[in-house]
Structure 1
Amino acid sequence: MDSALVVGGTRFIGRHLVEELLAHDYRVTTFNRGKHDDPFEGDDRVHHVQGDRTDRKALLTAKREVEPDVVFDCVAYEPREVEHAIDVFGGVDAYVYVSSGAAYADEDVPKREDETTLESCTAEQATDDSPETYGPRKAAGDRIVFEAAERGVNAMSVRPPVVYGPHDYTERLAYWVHRVAEYDEVVVPGDGTNLWQRVYVEDVARGMRLVAEEGEPGEAYNVGDRNAVTLDRMLDLIADALGTDVERAYTSPRELEVAGLDPEDFPLYRDYPHLLDTSKVEALGYESTPVAEAMERTVEAHRENGRTGEEEGPDREDEQRLLDVLDTL
């Protein structure tokens, strides 16, 4: 495979994927609407085709202009978008769809690609862009990939859990980085042992390339940090990267109610463990970055870019009010 088309390619996962592909001597073209700053503008190694991925004619134009060997679909959020892409690019050597760990319905620990049931998706959910339907829509895209493979299309999917790293515009992890950096004490929902596996963005990019090169059509591959960490351990890693310490106020749902808060108001909190089995992609040669190293790079990038994640979680004033109450008990 020599030529790669990245649908997306400028913001987060796609941006790191482009860098991964360039490092492995691919000719890379990005396809997007051009609504965000292009980090590869002026880089003659990266060609750009502007267009809306929901427009089938625009996809056909990209196909004719690029004639890619492999297509990486980073921004397919509705099942029909996967259908259109596979219809247009069905003859490529590999089509890799970015699905999600949210596609799983059953709370298995860990979740396995060939065993854990996927979410169902109604016709109404398929076109609803709310967070509540994200998992069902991704699962529907997976099923389209599997059906296409049965027709002879070299289509595969990659399922990451929460992705973190430099250029993460969601700022979910940036919320905690900012809290640890700026305050001596932080409010932690529960006892800090909740487990929501994450994956470093560069590892997602590496996994996608490996799946394109070595994966089997019709298969899904989980990608994730090999060593999943609890919320408490994540705070330790952030503090280590910042060269500081942080006190934690572990809180029950009843205590959080004092400030009108709920555990799920805090980013990266999940009541039940979410863990993906990554042995399948590891068989292709996948290795994840050590979590301490990945966190160091992430913290440095968030601080350099002024990301605070303050909109992603409770206001500090509410937290302080709760801390004041807890101090009196």
Structure 2
Amino acid sequence: MDAALVVGGTRFVGRHLVEHLLDHDYHVTLFNRGTHEDPFASHERVDHVQGDRSVKTDLQAAAMTVDYDAVFDVVAYHPEEVATATDVFADAEAYVYVSSGAAYGDEVVPKREDETGLEPCTPDQATDDSAATYGARKAAGDRAVFEAAAQGVRAMSVRPCVVYGPHDYTERTDYWLARVREHDRVLVPGDGTNVWHRVYAPDVAEAMRLVAERGDAGEAYNVGDRRLTTLREYVDLAADAMGTDVEVVTAGERELAAGGLAPTGFPLYRSYPHVMSTAKLARLGWESTPLSSAMLATADDHRESDRDGSEVGPDRSDEERVLGVLDTL
């Protein structure tokens, strides 16, 4: 394979995918609406086709005019979009759908592709756009991939957990990077040992390419850092990457309530561990980036951006009230 059609490709995971494909000598065509700034606008090995992925005729026009071996579907958020894409691009050597670890419905540790149950998805959920139905819609997209593979399409799915890295517009990691940059005491919910599996964005990009080149039709592949970290360890990594020395202060639900806070109000907190097995992907030759290197690159991008995560986590004034209560205990 040396030609790829990327549906999306200009923001976060898609941007890393395009960079990775170019590094591996692919010619890339981007298919999107053109509503976001295009970092590849003048790249000689990147072509651009404007269209709406929810409009079948736009996809069909791209299929007829673009030279592609593999199709990477980064921005499919509804199962009907996946079903349409696998039909339109049925002749591709590979169709890779970006699903999510949120597709899993069973709370077990670890979650395995061929054992752990997926979220159900009702017809109403399938057309919804809210965060509450995200996992259900991604799971239904996985089932559309499996159905297409049963009809002879070489369609596959990758399931990343929480993604971090440069260009992360969710700002979940930026919140912690800003905290360790600006304060010498950082409040962490719970006892700091909660685990929510994360993955470095460039590693997701590599996983997508390897699945396209080596994966089996009708299979899903989990993507996550091979070494997991607790939230406290993640904050320590952030401090090391930012070159700061901070005191991590943990607080339970009762202490947090003193500031009107709850553990779930903090980015990357999850009460029950979310851990996904990555053994299946590793068998394709995939490896994850060392955590310190991944966080250093993430921190460098954070410094150059104006992101601070202030919209996705508690106000510092509320945290200060909690810290004050803890100091009196």
Structure 2 equivalent of residue 167 of structure 1: 167
Structure 1 unmatched runs, 5+ = none
Aligned positions, number: 329
Say if 2:320 is the partner of 1:320: yes
Structure 2 equivalent of residue 219 of structure 1: 219
Report how far residue 239 of structure 1 moved.
Answer: 1.0
For 1:6 and 1:326, locate their aligned partners in 2 and report how far apart those are by CA, in whole Å: 50
Which amino acid in 2 is paired with 1:222? N
Report how far residue 317 of structure 1 moved.
Answer: 1.1
Structure 1 equivalent of residue 255 of structure 2: 255
Structure 2 equivalent of residue 145 of structure 1: 145
Report how far residue 260 of structure 1 moved.
Answer: 1.2
Report how far residue 65 of structure 1 moved.
Answer: 1.4
Structure 1 equivalent of residue 179 of structure 2: 179
For 1:107 and 1:217, locate their aligned partners in 2 and report how far apart those are by CA, in whole Å: 26
Which amino acid in 2 is paired with 1:189? P
For 2:224 and 2:162, locate their aligned partners in 1 and report how far apart those are by CA, in whole Å: 9
Q: How does 1:53-202 map to 2 (within 5 A)?
A: 53-202=53-202
Q: Is the 8 A contact 2:120 2:140 kept in 1?
A: yes
Report how far residue 180 of structure 1 moved.
Answer: 0.6
For 2:261 and 2:93, locate their aligned partners in 1 and report how far apart those are by CA, in whole Å: 50
For 1:154 and 1:6, locate their aligned partners in 2 and report how far apart those are by CA, in whole Å: 16
Show CA shifts across 1:143-184 (max 9, x none). Answer: 010011011010000000000000000000000000010001
Report how far residue 68 of structure 1 moved.
Answer: 1.4
For 2:178 and 2:288, locate their aligned partners in 1 and report how far apart those are by CA, in whole Å: 25
Show CA shifts across 1:277-305 (max 9, x none). Answer: 00101111100000111011101111111
For 1:251 and 1:304, locate their aligned partners in 2 and report how far apart those are by CA, in whole Å: 31
| TM-score normalized with structure 2 length | 0.99
Show CA shifts across 1:72-91 (max 9, x none). Answer: 00000001110111111011
For 2:266 and 2:318, locate their aligned partners in 1 and report how far apart those are by CA, in whole Å: 12
For 1:247 and 1:44, locate their aligned partners in 2 and report how far apart those are by CA, in whole Å: 48
Report how far residue 97 of structure 1 moved.
Answer: 0.2
What's the RMSD between the two structures over aligned residues?
A: 0.8
Which amino acid in 1 is paired with 2:215? G
Aligned residue for 1:195, secondary structure, equals: coil
Query: What fraction of aligned residue pairs are identical, expressed as a percent?
Result: 65
Report how far residue 328 of structure 1 moved.
Answer: 2.2
Structure 1 equivalent of residue 26 of structure 2: 26
Structure 2 equivalent of residue 268 of structure 1: 268
Q: Is the 8 A contact 2:189 2:269 kept in 1?
A: yes
Q: Is the 8 A contact 2:255 2:325 kept in 1?
A: no
Which amino acid in 2 is paired with 1:72? F
Moved more, 48-57 or 316-325: 316-325
Q: Is the 8 A contact 2:7 2:75 kept in 1?
A: yes
Report how far residue 312 of structure 1 moved.
Answer: 0.6
Q: Is the 8 A contact 2:87 2:148 kept in 1?
A: no
For 2:276 and 2:7, locate their aligned partners in 1 and report how far apart those are by CA, in whole Å: 25
For 2:226 and 2:291, locate their aligned partners in 1 and report how far apart those are by CA, in whole Å: 8
Which amino acid in 2 is paired with 1:47? D
Q: How does 1:199-210 map to 2 (within 5 A)?
A: 199-210=199-210
Moved more, 249-258 or 286-295: 249-258
Structure 2 unmatched runs, 5+ = none
Aligned residue for 2:38, secondary structure, equals: coil
Which amino acid in 1 is paired with 2:238? I
Structure 2 equivalent of residue 278 of structure 1: 278
For 2:133 and 2:245, locate their aligned partners in 1 and report how far apart those are by CA, in whole Å: 38
Structure 1 equivalent of residue 35 of structure 2: 35
Aligned residue for 1:52, secondary structure, equals: coil
For 1:65 and 1:18, locate their aligned partners in 2 and report how far apart those are by CA, in whole Å: 20
For 1:182 and 1:130, locate their aligned partners in 2 and report how far apart those are by CA, in whole Å: 33
For 1:323 and 1:240, locate their aligned partners in 2 and report how far apart those are by CA, in whole Å: 22
Say if 2:298 is the partner of 1:298: yes
Aligned residue for 1:146, secondary structure, equals: helix
Q: Is the 8 A contact 2:192 2:250 kept in 1?
A: yes
Show CA shifts across 1:199-248 (max 9, x none). Answer: 00000000000000000000000011000100010111111111211112
Q: Is the 8 A contact 2:158 2:208 kept in 1?
A: yes
Q: Is the 8 A contact 2:185 2:247 kept in 1?
A: yes
| TM-score normalized with structure 1 length | 0.99
For 2:130 and 2:172, locate their aligned partners in 1 and report how far apart those are by CA, in whole Å: 18
